[in-house]
Amino acid sequence: MSSHITWKNPPILEVIFEIRFQPVADYAIFVGGMAANNAIQNQYPLVEKLPGSDFPPLSPIEGVVRHKFLTNEKTDIFQTGQDVISVNSLNYLGFEKFLNQIKLVINSANKFIDFTKLTKRIALRYINKFENNDDNNNIFSALTIRNPFDDFDSIKTTEIFLRRVKEEENLFLTTNIQYPVVINDIQNNLVLDIEAFCLGSSLSELEILDWCINSHETISRNFQNLVSEKERSLRE
């Protein structure tokens, strides 16, 4: 599995897996079959109908989720739409557990969706947040990057958003850095959002899981390079 050691206090806010595919012919059969699956019922007993479920099925808007399945704690979620599945964790307990959640959902959906047909998009995303506790007005103290603004003043700054998209082997990697972000009523959080994605591929169920493993390694490697030694020492 992963070659990286899990931190005792990771900054992970949310982890998201998403796959988009050709629209299913009958969404009602798809979502009904997912809800009736015993393994899904055991893991995700709560089901919510989302506003997107009211959209006309014959003219779907790409990527709209229609139903949400949740654990009793509502910390692990997966969502379905006519052409999309997402798996979300708000209480991330390591990649192996998250991969098992993806495996359960994809295995159940595989009875209704042929993923070996053209997959429009597959993505794995890690959203991390760091509280800004630096006394020297350095919002990037948690990261290895430099502040690009010589006249920076945290009091006068209402938003900073940095974005980079680069091509890695067999995938693209998007890195977003945003400040300030209010999370749980806490001001001045710095968010580091890293997403690996691939467009227009044909993947079997096993290949989807292998893609997730390889993408996690890529994200983890880039994350390790971006986090400062000071921040790392506080979390390992």
Give tens-digit pLDDT for 24-80.
989 999 999 999 999 999 999 999 999 877 666 655 678 899 999 999 999 999 999
Among residues 34, 30, 16, which one has the least CA distance to residue 82?
A: 30
pLDDT at 135 over 80: no
pLDDT in tens, 141-189: 899 998 888 888 877 888 999 999 999 988 999 999 998 888 877 777 8
- Give the span between the Cα atoms of 201 and 203, in whole angstroms: 6
Altogether, the residues listed in the chain come to a count of 236
Predicted TM-score of the model (pTM): 0.92
pLDDT of residue 140: 86
3-state secondary structure of 115: coil
39: how many CB neighbours lie within 10 A of its CB?
11
Pick 131 or 103 by higher pLDDT: 103
Predicted confidence at residue 132, as pLDDT, reads 72
Q: How confident is the model at residue 191 (pLDDT cuts 50, 70, 90)?
A: very high
Q: Where are the domains of the chain?
A: 12-235
